[in-house]
Amino acid sequence: ISVIILFLVILSCNHVHYQQGKTLYTTNCGHCHMEDGSGVGDLYPSLNDLGPSYAYNNIACIIRNGKKSEGKVIEMIGLKDLSEIEITNIINYLQNDLNQVHQQISLQETEELLLNCSE
C-alpha cells in the first residue's frame, strides 16, 4: 500500500492542469521560449516570471498578433490561426502550470482582450 501512495504522490506533483494548453504551448511556443518557459536570453524572453496580472494585461494580444520590439532582430510573429479558446488554454497553462500563479482567465475575458488589441 505504501508503494501505491508514493506513486500517487509523485503523480500529483507532476500533474498538469491545462493539458491542452501545454500541448498548444509546446507546439506553438516551446521551440522559441523553451519547453520549460526559460527562454533564450534576450532573443526569446523567459515566460517563467509572469506576474499575476500579466495574463490580463496583454499576453492574449501578443499571442494573437505577435510582438515587435525596438532594436530586436527577431520579432515574435502572431499566431492568428489559434482560436480564442486555444489562446485561453495557453494563458491558463502559462499562469497555472508554469508560473504557479493559480489564476484563471475565462474564454469571455480572452475574447474581450482580443477585441481591444492594437496591432
Write out pLDDT tens, residues 37-80.
Answer: 998 887 888 888 876 666 556 889 999 999 887 766 778 899 99
How many beta carbons lie within 10 A of that of residue 3, not counting itself? Answer: 7
Interhelix angle 84-92/107-115, nearest 10 degrees? 110
pLDDT tens per residue across span 17-35? 889 999 999 999 999 999 9
Compute CA distances 103 → 44, 51, 54, 65, 81, whole Å.
24, 10, 10, 23, 25
- What the block records as the C-alpha cell of 57 is 494585461
Q: In terms of DSSP bridges, do strands 76-77 and 66-67 run parallel, antiparallel, or are they unpaired?
A: antiparallel
Whole-angstrom distance, CA of residue 80 vs CA of residue 63: 8
pTM of the model: 0.81
